[in-house]
Structure 1
């Protein structure tokens, strides 16, 4: 187990990373303890040790869904270093269809590495989630979704460590209570939207150890999202090779600046967190995206930071409104059928649309010299334009929240886990 702390582990003084070095948005203060378990036993022991000592615990994956203050984190940061993926069984069995295959991945596996493995192996069901940053463990906490797929639709079970009872449990999909960007795991951290619970924050009560997925043994799948169909030049519902779907998703995400910057893996604190071949592919996607967005080839420097990618991804969740609330929006506001948290019919609208139509356009900054700004490619990504701190990002976020609420009466809720700051 990699442990870097001089006060609690009896080691000589060693450097620990800042959270800015571990997160995709590149902000966050120093940490007291940083632990990288190599086995499940070490992983559970690190969690139990922090809890027994009454220390704040942050189990971190790829650092893509976190906004953490610049103050020191006086607790334990644990990053799972287990990267194993295996296909356990194939064929027909209870609750399986012909051609189904069960894949088990450790919580620490880089999510896009997992998708790449599935696509190259001819396992369909997650290719639409290509390029989503983070890890397998985080994918089920957040119930990630994109381009017509949600991780919930392919999860068979989730193996977790229950911090309350101190035992290992297997949670089935029904136990997970998956919803739009939510799960029972995520809910355990909050008493209300964006309001941390008294216990189990910023890490859920149930810490993911591994996830079992049920995928189809097929090299093709239906195209289930309009923008993706357009990128592929096909009709919705048409079947396409999953390799082609993955590449189209990566192109679309890259054109919006919604892929992480592969340059972050050159840092010694990030080395070994992502497969090297996929880092090289991501670097190529970065260059192709810049060319596609009108950047002249001679102006592309691979080592130059791509600030549009220095973000938490989509920063705000798409609001789900009551029908009465939705009726107050302009006629051209996006509307989609959805369920409210209490099970009543609701209406989902677009956070990006609300931000843009409240007057905050691509590239918006609160001040000309501000070091944080909206992406120049996507209004839903708040970005570190170089040298920003967490306060700069929070100021921009609050400006957007206040502006959208004033214009439309809707308070946007952050999608990332926000630690040490109030963005309610």
Structure 2
């Protein structure tokens, strides 16, 4: 590991906010990363692990602690137990989109719809990244992580990560601490070997986004190219020449509400059930069965509703900004808050609070931020 001259976080995060930390360490290998984290935790000072900086919203004041930059990289191809599949063990600092490009080039299916998502592989499981109907949870097998409390390194199966919609036990949600404070060192994925030819496109959400019919067959390369183009049109692929990409991606999460609350929203608001409803199974031991089967209690699925639709229909349009502010809603995508040039975290936070207030006033719910907030409050 290497102590380096601290760099302002505004130069290392896609929202371009944040001062320089008191100390900065670059970790280029797994062992350096383990050593840096153990040393930092032993000092009991504030710390921050920084990968691609694409999911961070950092306050204007200098960070009074240590920033550990994860600069590890590498893909190891491993056999899988299932025929027709392969496993890829990827170092935490590896670019997520570089991993997708590698998988597509090798004819490995399962993550092509997540092309163009910025950030690193180590950050991806923390919030269970996803796009167009694909999520990390579908292909992730396990992660190697180091535990903050003990400093021990262990391999944790995906079932123990509590992956949900943009969440996991590792994520630092706004207003709360992670259930398991730890840092991912590597992640292992299991992908299907399908080759470079055309194949049916799974998932209605992906087919709709790409304008494909239910029987369409295309190659993984075609999917990647068209997903990247779709994201570019929304300003969701990093481009120094496009101020709409100076963002943390979707600033607000799509809201998860009860089915009953969803019915109070306008019919035009896009919504998606979170899980399929299955008929309940009742098991009655024979020694207590009295001939009466209790009436099943049916439950309704929670519903994901479109935060972008709520924002726009609360009167906040694409390109909106407050007077004299250098923060603005993206001109292409209502969920992205952008830094239009030397904007401060205070200006972005002011805009975020304004949007939250408008949506709450109009629809009765509070949108939650998706990025990790460091030294800033909403």
Unaligned runs of 5+ in 2: 276-298
RMSD in angstroms over aligned alpha carbons?
1.8
**Which residue does 1:239 correspond to in 2?**
217
> 2: CA distance between counterparts of 1:322 and 1:237?
33
Q: Deviations over 1:140-195 (max 9, x none)?
A: 00100001210110001111111112211111121011100011111xx34xxx20
Deviation at 1:229, TM superposition (A): 2.9
Looking at structure 1, the residues matched to 243 and 152 of structure 2 have their Cα atoms a distance apart, in angstroms, of: 42
Paired residues of 2:161 and 2:170 also in contact (CA < 8 A): yes
The answer as to whether partners of 1:124 and 1:221 remain within 8 angstroms in 2 is: no
- Residues 216-231 of structure 1: pairs in structure 2 closer than 5 A: 216-219=192-195, 220-226=198-204, 228-229=206-207
SS of alignment partner, residue 23 of structure 1: coil
Distance 1:316 1:233, change over 3 A: closer
Q: Secondary structure at the match of 1:415?
A: coil
Check if 1:348 corresponds to 2:304: yes
Whole-angstrom CA distance in 1 between matches of 2:334 and 2:203: 20
Match of 1:195 in 2: 175
Tell me by how many angstroms 1:335 deviates. Answer: 2.0
- Alignment-derived partner of residue 313 in structure 1: 249
Moved more, 329-338 or 232-241: 232-241
Q: CA deviation at 1:41?
A: 1.7
1:70 and 2:60 correspond: yes
Distance 1:318 1:231, change over 3 A: closer
**What CA distance in whole angstroms lies between the structure 2 residues aligned with 1:166 and 1:29?**
28
Change beyond 3 A, Cα 1:178–1:25: same
Deviations 1:177-229, CA, capped at 9 Å, x for gaps: 1100011111xx34xxx2033xx69xx61210100100011135543455643
Deviation track 1:331-389 (CA, whole Å, cap 9, x = no partner) reads 211221126xxx9731110000000000000000011x320100000100000011101
- Would the aligned equivalents of 1:102 and 1:215 in 2 still touch at CA under 8 Å? yes
The answer to which of 39-48 and 175-184 deviates more is 39-48
Moved over 2 A (4+): 219-234, 236-239
Q: TM-score, normalised by structure 1?
A: 0.80
Q: Is the 8 A contact 1:148 1:224 kept in 2?
A: no
Q: Does 1:358 align with 2:314?
A: yes
Report the Cα offset of residue 100 of structure 1: 0.3
1:326: how far off? 1.4
1:176 aligns to 2:132 (yes or no): no
Say yes or no: does 1:333 pair with 2:269: yes
Partner of 1:391: 346
Task: Go from structure 1 to structure 2 and tell me whether the alpha carbon gap of 1:142 and 1:121 turns closer, same or farther (over 3 Å shift).
Answer: same
The structure with more helix, counted as a fraction of residues: 1
TM-score by length of 2: 0.89
Higher radius of gyration, 1 or 2: 2
Does residue 99 of structure 2 align to residue 109 of structure 1?
no
Does residue 122 of structure 2 align to residue 132 of structure 1? no
Distance in 2 of aligned mates of 1:176 and 1:405: 31
Give the equivalent residue in structure 1 for 2:20.
Answer: 30
